[in-house]
Structure 1
Amino acid sequence: MSNPLLTTQTTFDSKCLKKYEEAGDKRMESAGMESARAEASVKNEPILLQALDGRVPNRTPIWMMRQAGRYLPEYRAVREKAGDFLTLCYTPDLAVEVTLQPIRRFGFDAAILFSDILVVPHALGCPLTFEAGEGPRLVPVTTSAELAALREELDPDKIDRVLEAVSRIRAELPKETALLGFCGAPWTVATYMIAGRGTPDQAPARLASLRDPAFFTALIDRLVETSARYLVGQLKAGADAVQIFDSWAGVLDPTSFRRWSIEPIRRIVSLVRAEVPGARIIAFPKGATLPGLTAMVQATGVNAVGLDWTADRPATRYALGAKCALQGNLDPLTLIAGGRALDASIDAILADFRGASHVFNLGHGIRPETPIVHVEQMIARIRGV
């Protein structure tokens, strides 16, 4: 039997999408699309959560990865005040402020906690710095002895400050705005811990998984357990849903993707829902193929998957639209370009996901050079203003 992850991704044409739309979303068959929209609209809950629950809100919810960031002058002012990035992450007053900034300015349908995926290794005792213009730097962890020297549990002094920020953000957000927490997926976090920095193809982590599988498995296990507890803490502090960022999933071959991306995320989802039944969870395995995304959804039971800008939207909707919500997938460069190209891309995304449980987002984080006016253009286009 062939491995489904090795199957070549099929490009679906407009006829295939039309066939899917005519068949209808299976989750809406019993009530019909209009009654489903009506039901969703009367619920007194954020529309993003309606989408994550498999319903079709009366308008498309919007948020952006890295929506609190350097493209905003108000963020840059707070960042300068903080002095360094980790102070910004661990000071509740500052983390609350920068999380709320894009909500005040744009009225997004979700806020996402301002933090970093490397808070977890830092809270395990791995030294971490952020160099200007160069990104994060960690002391590499490459042996079982170095892993054993780290903490078994997350440092409560660090994590409690993050959770305080979550609680305060939820208290200050409008009730119609969802709050998202997050963590990095074990594979992606491990790539940084082993190399000490980001690398183009994550060769150090890939080699470690081959040369010393016992060490690598133990590292992944540590990250699964601590990441799950971290997400549980965020949900209990007030997060409405959480996202697991597997930013480097796309460098894995199909077998490794199943072992190092899908399986750890499946375990995290299981552990989180054992503590918080019904927890809403989004997975974002950037660069995953359609067979990989399909296997991810089937194995993990996540509420939604994030799509990068390379995803074939009609094919993805055909395969997954009846199984989970779909999030994405505007190219961040198109947002920089603006103008007619931006309008055309937005229209195409909305058309491809019309009638589905869809959350509009970028295919990756917004870039610092993005003009604010283009973000305003995007929101107005989506909302029909």
Structure 2
Amino acid sequence: MWFLFINQTYPPFLRNKSGFHSKNYCAFCFRQSSSFLVFRKKHLLQISMTATSDQLKGAKEDALNQAQLPLLLRAAKGLPVERPPVWMMRQAGRYMKVYQELAKKHPSFRERSENPELAIEISLQPWRAFRPDGVILFSDILTPLPGMGVAFDIPDKGPVIEQPLRTKADIEKVHEMQPERSTPFVRETLRALREAVSDEAAVLGFVAAPYTLATYCVEGGNSKSYSAIKKMAFTEPELLHQLLEKFAHNLAIYCCYQIESGAQAIQIFDSWAGQLSPIDYEMFALPYQKRVLEQVKRHYPDTPIILFISQGSHYLERMASVGFDVISLDWTVDIGKARERIGSHVSIQGNLDPAILLGTPELIEKRTLEIIEKAGPCGHIMNLGHGVLPNTPEENVTKFFQTVQQYRWH
């Protein structure tokens, strides 16, 4: 039985030279219970020791689990790493001879990216050749569009939107996607990649950011002037916001689907946001990046999300403010200065100029090591500042990977 104890002060006749003493008394009989006090102290000590033991055990288990994560995920979360992890944007593709041979037999890009057998093979080609720390899904940022009611194709000259979205009626046709119906090949590919690389590398998924996807859809494909989407932004902004809202919602669904299918991190490409002025970036790009991020994080708070904006170094502080786990940098900014501007609470990725891989082995090693040293030992993923160039020699890619893989932080 538990007893209630109250703190009482000795009466005057029990006063000693040092003054009043405080003792514990039973609330029912007002008698001092020293035996109960011993029991109580021991019991509380046992509880304290048990709690401390459980906390230590939990901390050790957490540390062990974190240490077993693939290197890329540890760096993305800002955890200690023995060296920076490394992968390349546009990692699989035209610079590899094995890819070129496969593309001759299967000339359609959509077939290569939407046939699971081919997409798995292409995704794993650089894994077999270079053992990167990240294996990225071979796909395209336009892949989810048919699931939203937007038809496209990718001929040799680049992506083409069959019916550009330029009117209210066009945009109202865009509907919520059901990726398990429209992109089942993505799930099959990601599951196979996780099985193939196990915990030796992290499997990456990716999507376009809402503004970039909207740019393709309004322009009808690639653009040099971006005049169609900017005209919509400046003459019918509510129309563009309606489209961006729909894309943000759908892209968050697609991100979650990729994570559920096996992706351990997601990179968001806002390829064309760098063409916006600061005021327009904050109006048409940043809020919708944030909506995708927040919607995904509600379901998968521990999955790292990476943001990349080509020619976006003037937005670094804004990019870091959104809440992304990793900011990927192009090569137009010094990575050390970028770290100072962003702060240490966000990890960084990048940022070797892809053209350096056309240079000598000595130059590749020198420039790669410079970036590693400037970025520092915590929260850095080594990568290019954009996609690998098609005419890059494979032996130079090997040199790049080996330089990073042989590096060690002391």
TM-score band by shorter chain is 0.7 to 0.9
Within-5 A mapping of 1:348-367? 348-367=370-389
Structure 1 position 287, deviation (Å): 1.4
Matched, 1:202 2:226: yes
Partner of 2:52: none
Partner of 2:348: 326
Structure 1 position 237, deviation (Å): 0.9
Larger Rg over CA atoms: 2
Letter of the 1:295 partner, please give it: R
Structure 1 position 256, deviation (Å): 1.1
Distance change (3 Å), C-alpha of 1:156 and 1:82: farther
Stretches of structure 2 lacking an aligned partner (at least 5 in a row): 1-62
TM-score, with length taken from structure 2:
0.80
CA distance in structure 2 between the aligned counterparts of 1:60 and 1:360, rounded to whole angstroms: 6
Within-5 A mapping of 1:1-385? 43-132=67-156, 134-139=157-162, 140-154=164-178, 156-290=180-314, 292-298=315-321, 300-384=322-406
Distance change (3 Å), C-alpha of 1:42 and 1:136: closer
Letter of the 2:224 partner, please give it: P
Tell me which of the two structures has the higher relative contact order, counting C-alpha pairs closer than 8 angstroms and 6 or more residues apart.
1
Question: Is contact 2:70–2:201 with CA below 8 Å preserved after alignment?
Answer: yes
Structure 1 position 336, deviation (Å): 1.8
Letter of the 1:187 partner, please give it: Y
Structure 1 position 281, deviation (Å): 0.4
CA distance in structure 2 between the aligned counterparts of 1:289 and 1:60, rounded to whole angstroms: 22
Give per-residue Cα distances to partners, 1:2-41, cap 9 Å, x unaligned.
Answer: xxxxxxxxxxxxxxxxxxxxxxxxxxxxxxxxxxxxx799
Stretches of structure 1 lacking an aligned partner (at least 5 in a row): 1-38
Question: Is contact 1:181–1:239 with CA below 8 Å preserved after alignment?
Answer: yes
Question: Is contact 1:124–1:155 with CA below 8 Å preserved after alignment?
Answer: no
RMSD: 1.8
Letter of the 1:314 partner, please give it: G
CA distance in structure 2 between the aligned counterparts of 1:254 and 1:326, rounded to whole angstroms: 21
Secondary structure of the corresponding residue to residue 362 of structure 1: coil
Distance change (3 Å), C-alpha of 1:308 and 1:293: same
Structure 1 position 312, deviation (Å): 2.4
Structure 1 position 154, deviation (Å): 4.3
Secondary structure of the corresponding residue to residue 153 of structure 2: strand
Letter of the 1:335 partner, please give it: L
Give per-residue Cα distances to partners, 1:79-127, cap 9 Å, x unaligned.
Answer: 2333311111111111111111111110000100010001122332222
Query: After the TM superposition, which of the residue ranges 166-175 and 328-337 deviates more from structure 2?
Result: 166-175
CA distance in structure 1 between the aligned counterparts of 2:241 and 2:65, rounded to whole angstroms: 45
Structure 1 position 311, deviation (Å): 1.3
**Identity of matched residues, %:** 32
Structure 1 position 156, deviation (Å): 4.2
Question: Is contact 1:321–1:357 with CA below 8 Å preserved after alignment?
Answer: no
Letter of the 1:279 partner, please give it: T
TM-score, with length taken from structure 1:
0.85
Letter of the 1:62 partner, please give it: V
CA distance in structure 1 between the aligned counterparts of 2:405 and 2:147, rounded to whole angstroms: 40
CA distance in structure 1 between the aligned counterparts of 2:306 and 2:396, rounded to whole angstroms: 26
Partner of 1:31: none
CA distance in structure 1 between the aligned counterparts of 2:333 and 2:64, rounded to whole angstroms: 27
Q: How many residues matched?
A: 344
